[in-house]
Amino acid sequence: MNRSKIILIASAAVFLVLVGVAGAFAGKQHASAAKARKGRDREFKDLETVFRDDIFPSATNVSVLGDNVLRLTEARDSFETALTAMNVPAPTNVSESVFMQTLQDLVVRKAKAAPLVEGKRCVSPDFAFGFERYVGASSRMPRKNEVPRLVQQLRVIVSLTDEMYAANVLHINSIGREIFEETGEASSDEEEEEDSGRSRGRGRGRRGSRGGDEEPESSGKSLLTPISTDLYEGQHFVLRISARQDSVIDLLNRIARLRYFIVVTDVRMQKVSPDVRLPALKGENEDKRQSRRGSDRKAEVAQEAESIPVLSDLQPAQRLMSGPDVDPPLDVTIELDVFNFAREEK
């Protein structure tokens, strides 16, 4: 067999192999296309059957609608369960005297547990945590129907106070809560209602009232009566604190992690001291000595000049300052709403 025949046979073998591979690939593609075509035809027939069938009564349509209703019901129940788990519980079996005793003990315990921040207690010994009308010499007994909601407010304020303690705020100036209680015949209550009457025309027709320190009118904010609908209700709280910037950020993050459904509606901060706190001069708290004459006076002046602190000899662009000396205290007002959600009765 000469060379030409060998080349011809080899070429024919290669051609047959290529034809076989191409045929196998084409057959596989054809089978896949046929399977997809049959699937589309089947789905088209199902759709055509549903389209041509009567809407009601139709077993297919009724089954589809039933499945949709079941899924939506399960999703709604899961959502309601998640929301109601965040509710602040309101007990119905707490008497007025038990509430007053619990409040008095809690106020004393929380005041004693206040941490020392930069050498000072963050609350004053007589701090009432927003319950001024129930603490102290002028306290009064709440009505029976007011106790459940007061317990709700007390639980929220205790949680907020714990977070403020943990955030190391410098001082808690006041805690404001909604005053929903009936005024009664007490003169102090009438004066409080008169003060809060200025804000009655604001905020969607809800009555203005507050507990704790009075809010300046220039801020344009007021404590309002609860938001109430068939699905949820909310209560408004105002925290007025003195803190440094890092503590304020930490406190807001801690509030966001609470188990309650809390919405922070406003945060106002005002700087109350210079950005950089100069170090204290030596002997500035000592009594000033009488001026002397002659060489004694010159020695005294030289000594005072040596005691003046030098912050830095570097250029301003090369200085690096950090810590409490460049983080001045801030007067902070945080307003927030705490919501309770109702579960639909079946």
Nearest 5°: the CA angle 290, 294, 295 is 100
Which residues does 141 contact at the CB level (< 8 Å), separation at least 6?
A: 96, 97, 100
Structural domain boundaries of the chain?
Answer: 19-84, 96-274+326-341
pLDDT of 129 over the 50 cut: yes
DSSP 94-125: --HHHHHHHHHHHHHHHHHTPPEETTEESS-T
The predicted structure's pLDDT at residue 196: 43
Looking at this protein, which amino acid is placed at residue 298? K
Percent of the chain with pLDDT over 70: 68
Q: pLDDT averaged over the chain?
A: 77
Instruction: Indicate the burial class of 306 (C-beta count within 10 angstroms; 0-12, 13-18, 19 or more).
Output: exposed
Which DSSP state fits 200? T
List, for residues 167-215, the tens digit of each pLDDT value.
Answer: 999 999 999 998 888 654 433 444 444 444 433 333 333 433 444 444 4
Percent of the chain with pLDDT over 90: 30
Higher pLDDT, 327 or 76: 76
The predicted structure's pLDDT at residue 225: 52
Q: Rounded mean pLDDT of 288-301?
A: 56
Q: Rounded mean pLDDT of 214-225?
A: 41
Establish whether the linkage from the previous residue to 57 is cis, with ω within 30° of 0: yes
Find which of 12-21, 284-293, 329-338 is predicted with most confidence, using mean pLDDT.
329-338
Which single residue is written with the structure tokens 């709440």? 142
Nearest 5°: the CA angle 293, 295, 297 is 45
The predicted structure's pLDDT at residue 48: 85
pLDDT of 76 over the 50 cut: yes
Residue 74: how many other CB atoms lie within 10 Å = 10
The answer regarding whether domain 96-274+326-341 maps to CATH 1.20.1070.10 reads no
Nearest 5°: the CA angle 114, 165, 175 is 85
Higher pLDDT, 58 or 190: 58
Higher pLDDT, 255 or 298: 255
pLDDT of 86 over the 80 cut: yes
Q: Does residue 106 contact residue 158 with C-beta atoms inside 8 Å?
A: yes
Q: Does residue 194 contact residue 207 with C-beta atoms inside 8 Å?
A: no
pLDDT of 164 over the 60 cut: yes
The predicted structure's pLDDT at residue 323: 54
DSSP bridge partners of 236: 337
